[in-house]
Structure formats: C-alpha cells, structure tokens
Amino acid sequence: METLMIAEDLTALGQISLASSLGVIEAQSVRPAMLPTALLSTQSEGFGTPVSLSTEDWIEAALAQWLDMGEKFAGILVGYVGQPSLINKLSIIMDHLVLPITVIDPVMGDRGTLYPGLTKDSVMAMRQLCQKATIITPNWTELCLLTGNDPNLKYTPKLLNSMVERLRKDAISARVVITGIYNQDTVITAYQSNNGQFNFLKASLIAGHFFGTGDLFSAILTSQLVKNASFERAIQVAHKGLQVAITQTAPLKDQERRYGLRLSRLLSYLTSIDK
C-alpha cells in the first residue's frame, strides 16, 4: 500500500477538508499520512468565526519522526493552509522530499470571494508554493486569484487560456485542472491533456452551494495517481465520484449542507472500482 501525505486543515465538526479526504483516500487503498495545517472547530463558512489551533510545530516534529522511521511517500496533496508562514514551511518540506506526485489545491476562496482570514500575502505565498507542484487544482475563483485577476470575472475560453499563460510567466509549470466553472446551467471541470490543450467535463448545475467539493475532488484525483492510474483515468474517477456525493447531498437544506457532503455513496463507488 502506497502512502500519501496530505496537508490541509482538520475541521472538527462535520465532514469537511481532512475529515472527508481521509475516508476517500482509504477507500482507494491508499495509506494517509496526515499533516493537519490547522485544527478548526468548524469550517470558515456558515458557522461564524471558528476556534483555531496552530499546528506548525507539530507538523515539523511529526515529519521528522516519519523520516527518522524511514517512511516513504508516493506523493503529497496540499489543500487549505492559511497562514503564509506555514505555506513557506511546506515549501521547504516539499523541496526536501522531492516527490513525483505533488498536487496543490490552492484553497483560498470561492464564488468570487477570498475565504475569511486570508489576505493578499496568503495569495502571494500560495502562488509561490504552486511553483513546486506537478498538478494544481484551483476552482475558477482561485485561478483568478493566482493570476492577479478580479475573482468575479466570468469564464470564457479565451480568458482561461490567458490565465494559464500568466501562470507560466510566474514559473508555475504544473498541469492545470480547474473545477467549479459555472456556465449557464452547467458546471465545468477543465483539465489539460498531454499536449497542453484543455478538455472539459460537464455536469448539470444543481441549485445551492455544496461545501468541500474541491477537497474531495483533489483527494480522489491524487489517490488515483498514487495508485498509478493514468491522468485521464484519475480525472474521470474524481469527476464521477464528486457527482455521486453531490447528488446524495442535494436534497438537504442549506443548514445541513454546511456540514459538508454526504459520503456513503461515494465511498461505495470508490470501493467498487477498486475491486
């Protein structure tokens, strides 16, 4: 069994971020090595201001123990980090490990808005961290932030290509996967093929907001890659799995959705394709 290092926040209430990613990683027969970038009482949207506990010192000590043990890692997934100082620390860790699969989900905002508590310095630090990635998985808002654009810009194919060109000018050479592109009654996932051109996966837009979709998508994608699935296969599984979770969650009211996606059908789907 391969070991995947995952660095993102641990939200204590509900199934968001690391709490949800853990299940989907294990369902794909991958061993998680968790580096919680912060311990939060709740997610940052829908519950007021969460109680937060820094884990910077713990991360350094835990990683040092793993390396002393001789633990080997097949890849790393970085999600929500928050503080620029910890983003910079993760950059040093990634330079030291030099892992073949380095997926960064630059979790900074959604629906045209920066997440609470994040600043321009956070965006700048995340832009620099993305220079270390082999794959980045921003949503449309985060792609706009990474490229210095207004996060409320509307999607067009021309704008997508110009923003990817901007990433290259900023020394971000990673393959790009963009989630959460809203176009009329459709939600689009755009991803680069081997020749650098974009392919598109589409799903029908379901009313309302679904929290934690990016976390799940990146966790499924990275786990598939760690298991040596092709990039195309990994994208297809992540896209399909996310639709399964969204469909199960869709009947819930907003007050319930804020706790995160329902995962039972997704876990069954991932377990079934692993047989």
User: Per residue in 131-182, pLDDT tens?
Assistant: 999 999 999 999 999 999 999 999 999 999 999 999 999 999 999 999 999 9
Q: HSE (CB half, 13 Å, CA atoms) of 239?
A: 21
- Mean pLDDT for the chain? 95
58-79 exposure pattern, b = at least 16 Cβ within 10 A, e = fewer: ebeeebeebeeeeeebbbbbbb
Q: 140 by DSSP, 3-state: which?
A: helix
User: Would you state the structure tokens that stand for residue 161, as one six-digit string?
Assistant: 């290509």
> What percentage of the chain exceeds 90 in pLDDT?
91
Q: What's the pLDDT at 274?
A: 73
Q: What's the pLDDT at 149?
A: 96
CATH number for the domain running over 3-268? 3.40.1190.20
Q: What's the pLDDT at 194?
A: 82
Q: What's the pLDDT at 275?
A: 63
DSSP string, 166-219: HHHHTT--SEEEEEEEEETTEEEEEEE-TTS-EEEEEEE--SS--TTHHHHHHH
Domain spans in the chain, listed from the N-terminal domain onward = 3-268
Low-confidence ranges of the chain (pLDDT < 70): 275
Q: What's the pLDDT at 184?
A: 86
Q: What's the pLDDT at 237?
A: 97
Q: What's the pLDDT at 82?
A: 85
What is the C-alpha separation between 99 and 75, in angstroms, rounded? 5
User: Would you state the structure tokens that stand for residue 226, as one six-digit string?
Assistant: 């760690």
The one-character DSSP state at 163 is: H
Residue 75 near residue 4 (C-beta atoms within 8 A)? yes
What are the start-end ranges of the E strands in the chain? 3-11, 31-40, 52-54, 75-78, 101-104, 109-110, 113-114, 135-136, 175-183, 186-192, 198-204
Q: What's the pLDDT at 117?
A: 84
What is the C-alpha separation between 24 and 234, in angstroms, rounded? 13
Residue 208 near residue 236 (C-beta atoms within 8 A)? no
Q: What's the pLDDT at 14?
A: 93
Residue 93 near residue 81 (C-beta atoms within 8 A)? no
Record the pTM: 0.96
